[in-house]
Amino acid sequence: MGCKKHLGWRGMLKKCGCKMTKPREIILEHLSKNCKHLTVEDIYFALKNKSHDIGLTTVYRTLELMVQNGILNKFDIGDGKSRYELAFETNSKDHHHHLVCCKCGLIINYNDFIDEEIQLLKKVEKELSEKHNFKILNHIIQFQGVCSNCAKKNEETN
């Protein structure tokens, strides 16, 4: 498991003069296995008391490094905590966008229309990057609203 990934990560790190370390390996491995939207705390506590205890500061630093190098995506659902997930290539089958509940923070991945979305994004991206001389690296499409659970809760209250 993870051999190819490990090589990729190590290569990426070498390119920017960084080293592959135990904590970095463990954190990336954890993110690979849990394809979720994790906070720093989520990761810190999940790895606590495992074979190798990782400091909170190191979790922060590792995640930031991986974002800078395009391994991870960082995003914010409005609750003041950053969330991280593996960055999937725009054209991979794992690439997806988000539905976010503004009441409870639930995040739903979807890729039902991903081909159409990507097609339009590509076009917009091309025109805008030329027009504004802007190098586009990434995109976000996100719908915000109220999940079925929160809607139900709200009805009961009234």
Partner DNA sequence: TACTAATTGAAAATGATTTTCAATTTCTTT
Partner DNA sequence: AAAGAAATTGAAAATCATTTTCAATTAGTA
Which residues bind to DNA, rule: CB under 7 A? Answer: 10, 13-14, 17-24, 39-41, 52-58, 60-62, 64, 80-82
Residue 151's binding partner, choosing from DNA, Zn ion, Mn ion, none, with beta-carbon cut-off 5 to 8 A by kind? none
Q: Please list every residue from 93 through 122 that binds Mn ion, using CB under 5 A.
A: 109
Binding mask 43-82 for Zn ion (x = CB under 5 A): ----------------------------------------
Q: Is 94 in contact with 110 (CB distance < 8 Å)?
A: no
CA angle 23, 26, 28 (to 5 degrees): 105
Task: Identify any residues that bridge with 100 across adjacent strands, giving them in sequence order.
Answer: 107, 144
Q: Is 39 in the site for Mn ion (CB under 5 A)?
A: no
Binding mask 48-87 for Mn ion (x = CB under 5 A): -------------------------------------x--
Pairing of strands 82-86, 38-39: antiparallel
Q: Is 58 in contact with 44 (CB distance < 8 Å)?
A: no
> What is d(CA 58, CA 22) in angstroms, rounded to the nearest whole number?
11
**What are the C-alpha distances in Å from 47 to residues 54, 60, 110?**
7, 13, 28
Compute the Cα dihedral for 76, 84, 20, 11 and give only its sign. negative
Q: Between 82 and 111, whose beta carbon lies closer to DNA?
A: 82
Residue 109's binding partner, choosing from its own copies, Mn ion, DNA, none, with beta-carbon cut-off 5 to 8 A by kind? Mn ion
Q: Which residues bind its own copies (CB under 8 A)?
A: 74, 76, 78, 99, 101-102, 108, 110, 112-113, 116-117, 120, 123-125, 127-129, 131-148, 151
